[in-house]
Amino acid sequence: MNCNIAVIKGDGIGPEVVSEAMKVLDAVGVKYGHTFNYEQLLMGGCSIDVHGVPLTDEAVARAKAADAVLLGSIGGNTSTSPWYKLPPEKRPEAGLLKIRKELGLFANLRPAFLYNELKGACPLKEEIADKGFDMMIMRELTGGLYFGARETKELDGVLTAVDTLTYNENEIRRIAIKGFDIAMKRRKKVTSVDKANVLDSSRLWRKIVEEVAKDYPEVTYEHMLVDNCAMQLVKDPAQFDVVLTENMFGDILSDEASMITGSIGMLASASLNETKFGMYEPSGGSAPDIAGQNKANPIATILSAAMMLRYTFDMDKEADAIEAAVQQVLVENYRTCDIVSEGTELVSCSQMGDLIAARV
């Protein structure tokens, strides 16, 4: 199969980790007879430096013409980078919001899986970590508070900021359907997270989820308030399969889930639209403090590439091969600096890519 991939390496460690994911994809291509064609685009701070904006319309058009997007990390150090002296709509992260909206990427999938070999890095109690966990956080990505109308103005002599949280039933229904579809491929359980005791948007969310659930009689589902979910993630993460939630709650909960795995450098993510098109990226940030030092952990980006093979190209065995290669490297005790521990061997970003590619 010929696969056309728009590659956005981004800022900070983005170019390093994306290069290793491409290396692994090329190894898959050799073994399974596929051709991966890459077109590199600019987004984020690197685009600001060249074009003066975080994402050009031309880059959006070229991304739309591809089969999928492989993305690195966007942004820099907010306290020192000149990018953050610009107005909000000109900063690196504005490009990320724009491309999600332009590509219709409303469903964000963030798996959180605790590898047996990394249990020692899990910050939870040993008896909790020993149970393990394997969850998929399904976050609505193009609505809610992050995309609502906002303004800051003076009212009666007092400076006042207003952010608007809006969801309609169609936005909720399509993400709920995606969530239940994913649950059908996993352990058939959905935990829908909201704040229905306070918010009208959450009460609508709960109503629509209940309607969608009727079409999935094999899936067990429950409602959970977001504050309780935040507590349950550290108390008993093994209880979760698919966690379905709105934009801001999903942003926060997925970062919490990432840290209980031991390292955010291990976590992939996918953002899908209503077709098989998706954008695939690591869950972590651009880590400008270690950029260019060949220290970054590329596993999250490599696993994101595996998700791309699975969800966009229907290459399940190829995705399985990448995931098995990652597992094998961990079994063999190779580690990047963020997950290294006594008795393991420290390797660089590029060495980790080489090791995984060799085991595909």
C-alpha atoms less than 13 angstroms from C-alpha of 196 in its C-beta half-sphere: 14
Q: Which of 11, 194, 241, 251 is catalytic?
A: 251
Report the DSSP pairing between strands 150-155 and 158-163: antiparallel
Report how far apart, in Å, the C-alpha atoms of 243 and of each of 60, 110, 112, 140, 348 are. 30, 10, 11, 11, 33
Determine whether 241 is an active site residue: no
Q: Cα(265)–Cα(303) distance, rounded to whole angstroms?
A: 10
SS3 219: coil
| Helix or strand (DSSP H, E) at 47 | helix 45-51
End-to-end CA distance of the chain, in Å? Answer: 18
C-alpha atoms less than 13 angstroms from C-alpha of 113 in its C-beta half-sphere: 17
Determine whether 146 is an active site residue: yes
Q: Which of 49, 57, 215, 227 is catalytic?
A: 227
Question: Are 72 and 41 contacting, i.e. CB atoms less than 8 angstroms apart?
Answer: no
Determine whether 251 is an active site residue: yes
Beta pairing partners, 360: none
Question: Are 109 and 307 contacting, i.e. CB atoms less than 8 angstroms apart?
Answer: yes
SS3 337: coil
Q: Which of 64, 101, 189, 195 is catalytic?
A: 195
Per DSSP, the residues of 167-214 read: --HHHHHHHHHHHHHHHHTTTSEEEEEE-TTT-HHHHHHHHHHHHHHT
**51-58 LR contacts (CB < 8 Å, sep 24+):** 53/90, 53/95, 54/90, 54/91, 54/92, 54/93, 54/94, 54/95, 54/96, 54/98, 55/94, 55/95, 55/98, 55/99
Q: Which of 32, 38, 84, 146 is catalytic?
A: 146
Q: Which of 32, 255, 295, 354 is catalytic?
A: 255
Report how far apart, in Å, the C-alpha atoms of 316 and of each of 20, 53, 110, 263, 313 are. 20, 37, 18, 25, 8
Catalytic residues: 146, 195, 227, 251, 255
